[in-house]
Structure formats: structure tokens, C-alpha cells
Amino acid sequence: MGGKMVGLNLKIILAGLMVSAFCISAQAQEKAGEKTEKKKTLSFEDELVEGSTQKPELFYLFQKKNFNYKRLIKLRENFIPEMRKTSEDLKPSRSSN
């Protein structure tokens, strides 16, 4: 009777290993399938496509080349002339309300 129990336990262990191996290979195939789904090719022949980028890629390129931002910034002592003009532009609209 002891030999039959050992044989039965061995069959159960082997069956469990086979099921585990099958599950692992099925998961590996699913992961491989996911990678191929991410790559899509779209053809826009004779179509006008307009859009904008979601991140400032151009500034990343400039930054890598040690871009000098100082030449883009114009420092001024005050903004009083612009503030006066804005207040003058707003005065007529306040009186009409």
C-alpha cells in the first residue's frame, strides 16, 4: 500500500508542475502580445493633421547645448508706463457701466 501512495503523490506533484508550467507559458505569451499591441502604424495620406506637443521638447534640446536664456530676457527697472496706459484704457470702460 505504501508504494501506491508514493506513486499517487508523485502523479499529483507531476500534474501540479505541468499545470504550473502551462500557466507560466500562457502569461509569457500574454505579455509578448501586449508589447506588439502598443506599436501601431497610421497612414494619413492626403489628410491634414494639426496638433501641438504636450511637453516642451525644444527647450530640452536647447538646454543640452547650454542654451543662453539671458539674451531672451530683457530686464527693466519699472513698468510704470505700461501701468499708466492700462489704467487710462480702463477708465472709460468703468464710467460706461
Q: How many domains does the chain have?
A: 1
Distance CA 8, CA 15 (A): 11
Residue 79 CA to chain centroid, in angstroms? 40
Q: List C-alpha distances in Å: 25 to 2, 16, 17.
A: 35, 14, 12
pTM: predicted TM-score of the whole model, two decimal places: 0.26
> Does residue 11 form part of some domain?
yes
pLDDT at 77 over 80: yes
- pLDDT band for position 8 (cuts 50, 70, 90): confident
Enclosing domain of residue 11: 2-37+55-96
> Does residue 44 form part of some domain?
no
Q: Provide the mean pLDDT of the chain.
A: 72
> Does residue 46 form part of some domain?
no
> Does residue 49 form part of some domain?
no
Distance CA 21, CA 13 (A): 12
Q: What average pLDDT score do residues 76-93 get?
A: 84
pLDDT at 88 over 60: yes
Outline where the chain has alpha helix (H): 2-38, 57-64, 80-96
